[in-house]
Structure 1
Amino acid sequence: MRIAMFGYQTWGHRTLRALLDSGHEVCLVVTHPKSDHVYEKVWDDSVADLAAEHDVPVVLANRPTAELTEQLAALAPDLIVANNWRTWIPPEIFDLPRHGTLNVHDSLLPGYAGFSPIIWALINGEPEVGVTAHRMDATLDAGDILLQRSVPVGPTDTATDLFHATVDLIAPIVTEALELIDSGQAEWTPQDPTKASFFHKRSLEDSRIDWSWPAEDLERLVRAQSHPYPHAYAYHRGQRLEVVAAGLSRGCYGGTPGRIFIKEGDGVVIVAGAEARHGRSRGLLLTRVRTEDGVEWAATDYFRTMGGYLRSHPETAG
């Protein structure tokens, strides 16, 4: 088959590598220019560079254009494969090939369509994450499913761990999908729209700690914002403080959310949860923090005395 590819960052890079290794002809690669967005500088293997290494023509674009549509029509690909393309692809492109467009998405659709699905899924305590290969249609990430593969989420897994586990699924799922499509054995399963969820692109604001969340949710937020993602953060005495590592307290602690309460083991307990006043909630046990100057501290060294609060915003710090 003649295949055109739309993709970006490491997800797109792994997809293109699988296409190049498949024995099919890659006739065009379309990718985004490099971005300064904080989440687009993470896992940023260059699709353009890989294509150039293999003498595959490359188009750099933020959005499809009329000229690109004409170029694709002239190339007459049998299939388009997309992964981590960040803007809408119109039907005059995704319906152009005789096999349509195969989109590869890093969630178990119909749940977690949209952006940063692994981070959102980890925050929400999902038991597994994965990759879906589906047919592109006019609704983002909603087309019929060809293949899915999943990996379990362990109790200490970070978003970084889950990225590596799921990105390794891309090559085998693309390879199998191509074989099924080329042989005419592909069986497509419609998604159940009643089980769909759609998530927006994450930004630094989404890493801000809200101390009204239960500690269990905050502990997952910290794991979801693991290096190289921007860490979860709060403010102490007006200065931004990143939470590098945290767990759940052994004991239950009552009071006001955000209170710097007590040392426990190798960490410091911060009262958390909207129901914390009842004294039946666990706290968030901070173990590693980083100050605005980039210095990382054991929480027990940074918080020399107890008392005071961690705040969500600097203007209310105390």
Structure 2
Amino acid sequence: MRVVMFGYQTWGQKTLQTLIDSRHEVVGVVTHPASDQVYESIWADSVEDLAREHELEVHLARRPDAILRKQIHAWNPDIIIANNWRTWLPPEIFAHPPHGTLNLHDSLLPKFTGFSPIAWALISGAEEVGLTAHRMDGELDTGDILTQASIPIGPRDTATQLVRDTIDLIPTVLLEALDSIEYGTARWRPQDLRERTFFHKRHETDSLIDWSWEASDLDRLIRAMSDPYPNAFTYYRGERISITEAHVSQGIYGGTPGRVFIRENDGMAIVAGPNAHRGRNHALVVDRLRTSDGTDYAALKYFPSGGGYLTSGP
């Protein structure tokens, strides 16, 4: 089939490479200009560079406009494939090809519609993540599902590892979907939108640690904000520190949330939880942290003894 690919960052590059390696003909590539926005500079493999390396025609756009619509008509694709295209596409584009537009979204729709789905899935305590190929419609990630693949979330997985694992699913999910469309065997499933969960873009504020959360929730937050993401952070005696490695304590610790309490094995136990004063909660044991100047510390080097509080501001 004649394919136009809309995509950006590593997700888009992996999708384009899959199409280049397939029997399908890539007749055009649409991508965004490079950005230094924090979440767009992490998984920053270039769709544009890969397309030009293979002498494919490239159109750069921040959002669709009349010029892009005219270009789509000129390319005359059988189908559009989209992965990590960052703005809404109008029906004049997504419905133009005979087979419409197939979008790849890195969650198991209808769960985790929207933004940063891997991070939000891990934070929320989901048991698995995955990749969905679905038909694009006029709303965000609501179209009929064609193919899906899932990966279980392990007890110590980070968002970084889960992103890599879901990116590795792209060839299998995409090519299975294209085969079924081309050969007329596609079985589209409407989404049950009563089951939809819709998450917003992450902001720096979302990574500020709230010590009234259960330690297990904080552990997932810290793993979701693993390097190279902006780490979960807190303040200690006026200094901002990022928690880069932690785990749930073996012991039960009571008191006031945020109290730097006592050594447990090789880490420092921080009192946490909504009912910490009742002495029923596990603590979060900090293993490693990073100061605002970028220096990494083992927790017991930074906290040689208990005392003081981790807080929400300087």
Normalising by the smaller structure, the TM-score range is: over 0.9
Residues 134-155 of structure 1 show CA distances to partners (whole Å, capped at 9, x for unaligned) of: 0000111010000000011110
2:222 matches 1:222? yes
> 1:110–1:142: 8 Å Cα contact kept in structure 2?
yes
Percent of residue pairs identical: 60
Q: Give me the whole-angstrom Cα distance separating, in 2, the residues matched to 1:220 and 1:297.
A: 20
Which structure 1 residue ranges, 4+ long, deviate > 6 Å from structure 2?
Answer: none
Q: Give me the whole-angstrom Cα distance separating, in 1, the residues matched to 2:295 and 2:3.
A: 48
Segments of structure 1 that go 5 or more residues without pairing to the other structure are: none
Q: Give me the whole-angstrom Cα distance separating, in 2, the residues matched to 1:75 and 1:305.
A: 66
> 1:253–1:276: 8 Å Cα contact kept in structure 2?
yes
Segments of structure 2 that go 5 or more residues without pairing to the other structure are: none
SS of corresponding position for 1:286: strand
User: What TM-score does the superposition give when structure 2 sets the normalisation length?
Assistant: 0.98
Residues 189-221 of structure 1 show CA distances to partners (whole Å, capped at 9, x for unaligned) of: 000001001111112222111111111100001
Shift of residue 18, structure 1, vs aligned partner: 0.8
Q: Give me the whole-angstrom Cα distance separating, in 2, the residues matched to 1:293 and 1:186.
A: 53
SS of corresponding position for 1:297: strand
Shift of residue 254, structure 1, vs aligned partner: 1.1
Residues 14-43 of structure 1 show CA distances to partners (whole Å, capped at 9, x for unaligned) of: 100111111111111111111111111111
Residues 151-187 of structure 1 show CA distances to partners (whole Å, capped at 9, x for unaligned) of: 1111011111111111100011111111111111111
> In the alignment, what sits opposite 2:17?
17
> 1:39–1:203: 8 Å Cα contact kept in structure 2?
no
> After the TM superposition, which residues 53-202 of structure 1 pair with which residues of structure 2 at under 5 Å, given as runs?
53-202=53-202
> In the alignment, what sits opposite 1:284?
284
Residues 74-112 of structure 1 show CA distances to partners (whole Å, capped at 9, x for unaligned) of: 221110000001110111100000000000000000000
> 1:241–1:290: 8 Å Cα contact kept in structure 2?
yes
User: What TM-score does the superposition give when structure 1 sets the normalisation length?
Assistant: 0.97
Return the letter of the residue paired with 1:294.
G
> 2:263–2:305: 8 Å Cα contact kept in structure 1?
no
Count of residues in correspondence between the two structures: 314
RMSD: 0.8
Residues 275-308 of structure 1 show CA distances to partners (whole Å, capped at 9, x for unaligned) of: 1111101111001011111111110110123111
> In the alignment, what sits opposite 2:304?
304
Q: Give me the whole-angstrom Cα distance separating, in 2, the residues matched to 1:106 and 1:260.
A: 37
